[in-house]
Amino acid sequence: MQELVDKADIHRATFYSHYHDIYDLYEQIESDMISEFSSIMKNDPIHSYENLFETLIDYIYNNSMLCKMLLSKKGNRSFQSHVFSLLLKKYIQIYIFEEKQAVITEEIKYLINYHIQDCIAILSHWLENGLSYPKEKMKQLMINVDNNMDVLFTNY
């Protein structure tokens, strides 16, 4: 705790006036990021995968330290599960919008789940490597991966 308040250059009492303990701070950070991710997903009027990936990558790039802490392999699984759920819901909305489908087959659900896990793994790897791969190239990579998934979707 002392190391944290020293780095933040605040008094210990100031910290405790806002948080019960370090775990409360961590939970608040997670909650705030889930709210921000949720807002990103809800405020996408375009309904395109390209826009979703661009927005997501920009957010991760601008919040890389927190995202690395929460999305890395050592991060909290409940946070990652929340992010997965948000992306899954948005991805299904985009799929329904683009394909004009009222019903999604089981095969498509499996493919979407696979694709979301794939995207999270790519982004996690990018974070763990210090965002060394250029942001614009990462956007194009994610779009290319998504375009290749479209080939699979058309077979089902």
> SS3 for 19-40, per residue?
CCCHHHHHHHHHHHHHHHHHHH
Domain ranges of the chain: 46-154
pTM of the model: 0.78
Tokens of 17: 């006036």
In this predicted structure, the answer to whether residue 133 has a pLDDT above a threshold of 90 is yes
Question: Mean per-residue pLDDT for 134-149?
Answer: 91
State the pLDDT at residue 46.
Answer: 63
Residue 13 has pLDDT above 70, yes or no: yes
88, 113 contact by CB (below 8 A):
yes
Average the pLDDT over each of 25-39, 69-83, 113-127 and give the range with the smallest value.
69-83
pLDDT, tens digit (0-9, with 9 covering 90-100), for 48-97:
888 888 888 999 999 998 888 888 777 678 888 888 998 888 888 888 88
